[in-house]
Amino acid sequence: MADLTQFYNPKILAELAVGYGNRRYIADLAMPTVRSADQIGTFQVFDKDNMALDIESARTSPTADVAALDFGVSKTDFTCKGYGFKHFVPNHKDEDVQGQYLAGAVQVVKDSLLNIREGIVLTKILACGNTTSITTAWDAASTDLGTVRTGVEQMQADLVDETGMPGNVLIMGRDVWAVVAGKVVGGYLTPTVPNTQMLAELLGVDRILVSEVDYVTEKNAGSWDNPTKFWTAKYAALLNNGVADMPNFDANMGSTAFTPAYGKTAQWTGGATMDGIEWRSYEWADKGSGGGVYVSGTMYIDAVETLNKAATLASVLT
């Protein structure tokens, strides 16, 4: 029997999982996680109602004290829920094959968990309460950069009116991106095949995220014949993501979840690894003729903000 010690050590599995990435998933970019020492707790919200600033005058003399700035915050509850998958890896005589199998199992388990997280986040964004009416659809014959920018400005106005904060992350599916990129860049950008950051600069946002992840409703194996897109074909969403312009932000602050803005999710730190997934493995000698190990991944995470006021959604394609 192959010596599996070097493979099913949880530290090795965690390193495999952290080293593996899939750029198709945007949930951690759309709503970055903030760590919490508690699985259940309260979440500080800097909302519009508590940001009314009472400022009489900011002027002061060299010897006088500065004026007081008075504002407050509200709180909302969060619960970090557990999601997990495991896969059985039978023993192999060939140690190299066993290593490939274990690495592949980690990849598939992590992809499956990322798919669950993607669904949680994107469903909440798509279900946000604000819907901006953009009268000129972005796929109309008259679409140009000015039309798209006007639509984003309408979304910004609604978001500021609801939250007091402008949006800085624009989210869309691959279909919307193809239309927008194809119709507005011809006379504005060189090269004419744009990337998302080029268009983000022109539209006045920090980042554009393009979702292209599929899911299926059947649970049985081999059911990927008719996948459905998480992000529907006609929508774009704008939300405020405080971490987008804070690259050095340390989310692990204090004993409760902390956020400077809207659009965050909580991650319980109890037993979790750096990538948000706790990896475990254990032997199972009775399954199959040669036994083997289970590779198990669990994440404790859920959205803490319902996004009713934290995002604005627009129907942009006819």
Q: CATH number, domain at 300?
A: 3.90.1690.10
Give residue 221's pLDDT: 59
What mean pLDDT comes out for the span 50-54?
Answer: 60
Q: Per the structure, how many domains does the chain have? A: 1
Segments forming the whole domain that contains residue 83: 5-48+72-315
36 touches 268 (CB < 8 A): yes
Is the pLDDT reported for residue 3 higher than 50?
A: no
Tell me, yes or no, whether 62 lies in a domain: no
Lowest pLDDT segment from 7-16, 22-31, 99-108: 7-16
Tens digits of per-residue pLDDT, 210-261?
A: 988 887 766 665 666 677 888 877 889 998 875 444 444 444 443 333 444 5
Tell me, yes or no, whether 65 lies in a domain: no
Tens digits of per-residue pLDDT, 134-164?
A: 777 888 777 778 888 888 998 898 888 877 7
- Range list of β-strands (E), the chain: 33-36, 40-45, 74-79, 82-90, 130-132, 169-173, 207-211, 214-215, 228-229, 235-239, 265-268, 278-283, 292-303, 311-315
Tell me, yes or no, whether 146 lies in a domain: yes
The DSSP annotation for 128-142 comes to -SEEE--SS-TTSTT
Residues in the chain, overall count: 318
Tell me, yes or no, whether 58 lies in a domain: no
What is the dihedral angle through the alpha carbons of 195, 196, 197, 198, rounded to the nearest 10 degrees? 60
User: What is the spatial distance between Cα 298 and Cα 280, in angstroms, rounded to a whole number?
Assistant: 8
* Helix, strand, coil percent content, the chain, rounded in steps of 5: 30, 25, 50
Give residue 260's pLDDT: 43
Tell me, yes or no, whether 66 lies in a domain: no
Tell me, yes or no, whether 190 lies in a domain: yes
Tell me, yes or no, whether 120 lies in a domain: yes
Is the pLDDT reported for residue 285 higher than 70?
A: no
User: What is the spatial distance between Cα 169 and Cα 178, in angstroms, rounded to a whole number?
Assistant: 18
Tell me, yes or no, whether 64 lies in a domain: no
